[in-house]
Amino acid sequence: MENKSWVGLLVLCLAIAVVGIAEAGVPAIFILGDSTADVGTNNFLPGSMARADFPHNGVDFPFSRATGRFSNGLNSADFISKQFGLKRSPRPFLSLNTTSLHKKSFRGVNFASGGSGLLDITGRTPFGKERIPFGASFVNRKNVITLSEQIQQLSLVKSNLADIKGQSVTEKLISKSLFFISTGSNDLFGYYHSNSSFSKEAFLSSLELAYEKHLKSLIELGARKFGIISIAPIGCCPSQRIYNATGGCLEDLNDLAIAFHERLGALLFKLSSQHKSIKYSLGNAFEMTISVIQNPLPFNFTQVEAACCGAGKLNAESFCSPHAKLCPNRNNYLFWDLFHPTQAASKLAAVTLYNGGPQFVYPINFSQLAKA
């Protein structure tokens, strides 16, 4: 009964979002994280293999353009931005020049980079191994923008805005803007598959400390409104199911995601207690996704195990490429490739974060965060 009620809430969120979008305007949106939110950052890293600027990626994007999104079309960063009146996600930082900040239409920046994580070693040289799969692909020391570097880029944006608009105007803009962060999955993938000698608790503590450091850096830069997206049931990704002889989820990997969500909730509560001006929304991506996996039909999903684009078992034994097998009914698939959601799944996640109740986003949803 409980799962059915959650399904009903998700359907209601989707219906509400269709009726009224962009109720709350915000001066700007800044997005940080990994490939779940990357809208082309890694296109500017020539040596990176964590890229999606080639078909079949983008097959449902306008003009079927492969933009660097790990999706058949738009991703969660786009749909979250659309809830606040933007056409899609702000442009990636590496595509900007100083004139971009002069424009009256400036609404933010996307810093997210596929392959990155909470730890600086994630996507670089993780846990003593030279190269292992992280999120989108194999990446090395020069081919990912770490979260620490993304925050440095934000600092540069703030400095340039202050030169253009003035310090007080910029401070006000930053304090009223929304900061969305989607990261952590790559850290868990790296740890789980590395056979690290780190205990589970020690590893999760290191992630929590890293997240605290990053959030404090953002607070020092003037950020006050945080939309945090926790880790989904990544053990149910097609790429992980192929490690299970039954094709089921890797529950040990899912347990790591659940445990980290609990730690993240406690961390955000602590920081908001220490900094009274801080407002936050913590999206429970695990519960949102697992509810769909367990009862997909109300959301028009008929395939929640296999990837739409790929090859082999569950279409998950290779990355999406121009030569990969492509499903024709993409709106009915939860997963686009062996790691990432389809455009349809990303839209459902975004509207749930925007309108959802405390089962899925706590203590307030993204719409309420904008008004806080």
Among residues 76, 137, 337, 367, the one annotated as catalytic is 337
Q: At what angle do helices 147-165 and 167-176 cross, to 10 degrees?
A: 130
Alpha-carbon gap, residue 122 to 29, rounded angstroms: 25
Q: Which of 175, 182, 29 is nearest to 110 (CA)?
A: 29
CA distance 194 to 372: 42
* Active-site pick, 56, 193, 261, 340: 340
Query: Whole-angstrom Cα distance, residue 198 to residue 191?
Result: 9
- Whether 367 is a known active-site residue: answer no
Strand partners, 303: 333
Residue type at 342 in one-letter notation: T
**Phi/psi class of residue 58: alpha, beta or left (left: φ > 0; alpha: ψ in -120 to 50)?**
left
- The residues near 196 (Cβ < 8 Å, ≥ 6 apart) are 127, 128, 203
Residue 337 falls in the annotated catalytic set: yes
Among 35, 48, 182, 346, the active-site one is 35
Give me the half-sphere count of Cα atoms (radius 13 Å) on the Cβ side of residue 263: 21
State the catalytic residues: 35, 337, 340
